[in-house]
Amino acid sequence: MAAVTQVLVGLRRIGIVGLRESLIGVEASGATEREEVVDVMLGALSQLNYIPSHVEDDYRKTLWREYMRHRGEDIRDLYSEIEVVVRGEQGEGLDRFLRALRIAFGEHELKPAATLEPPDPAGHNPQMLIDGEVVLAGATREREVERAVRAQISDW
């Protein structure tokens, strides 16, 4: 029986049945080019998993990332991107907050595409917004930022 492996597809963590076997299948096929590799993996995985057509592009990115991870390659450039808004006063505090964001999201294989906005005069700054909702305000320590990021992705 093929194992279930959790992976990030777009911004959703899902279970895929047979990922390891599909990676072995790629090695046996001799495929080396990105599209060939992903086609082999997608063909094998679609036998065991439902892959909706509207998210196939996200699956293709995920499968390439998993193949590169399997080969021991650096996958940071392949992390899923998430749009966030950061409000705050320019300076050391905001720089520390942005560093903490990159680290916290990176631990979950996400990279923030941050849009910077002026501070919120009525709220605690810096702030992080996802989908227009303030999910973190006033914190700049890495632990606090990581907790807020983890709480957000648990809902995805």
Per-residue pLDDT tens digits for 43-75: 999 999 999 999 999 999 999 999 999 999 999
Considering 77, 94, 121, which residue would you say is the last residue of a domain? 77
Choose among 43, 59, 16: nearest CA to 3: 16
Domain range holding 93? 80-153
63/85 same-domain check: no
The predicted structure's pLDDT at residue 93: 86
Percent of the chain with pLDDT over 70: 97
86/67 same-domain check: no
57/114 same-domain check: no
What b/e readout covers 69-103, taking b as 16+ CB neighbours within 10 angstroms?
ebeeeebeebbbebebbbbbeeeeebeebbebbee
62/121 same-domain check: no
d(CA 52, CA 31) in angstroms, rounded, equals 24
Total domain count, the chain: 2
Residue 31 or residue 11, greater confidence: 31
The predicted structure's pLDDT at residue 154: 63
Neighbours of 120 (CB within 10 A): 15
- Token pair 């998210």 is found at 55
Please, how many CA atoms are within 13 Å of residue 109, restricted to the half-sphere of its CB? 18
pLDDT per position as a tens digit, 106-119 = 988 899 999 999 99
68/120 same-domain check: no
The chain-wide mean pLDDT, for the chain, equals 90
**Rounded mean pLDDT, 12-17:** 90
62/120 same-domain check: no
Considering 45, 77, 109, which residue would you say is the last residue of a domain? 77
82 to 8, 29, 32, 60, 69: CA distances (angstroms): 12, 34, 29, 18, 21
Question: Apex CA 47: angle with CA 9 and CA 21, to 5°?
Answer: 75
Choose among 77, 51, 54: nearest CA to 64: 77
CATH number for position 130: 3.40.30
Considering 77, 95, 117, which residue would you say is the last residue of a domain? 77
Lowest mean pLDDT among 60-69, 71-80, 94-103, 140-149: 140-149
69/31 same-domain check: yes
156: pLDDT confidence band, cut at 50, 70 and 90?
Answer: very low
Residue 113 or residue 10, greater confidence: 113
Q: How many residues does the chain have?
A: 156
13/48 same-domain check: yes
12/71 same-domain check: yes
57/87 same-domain check: no
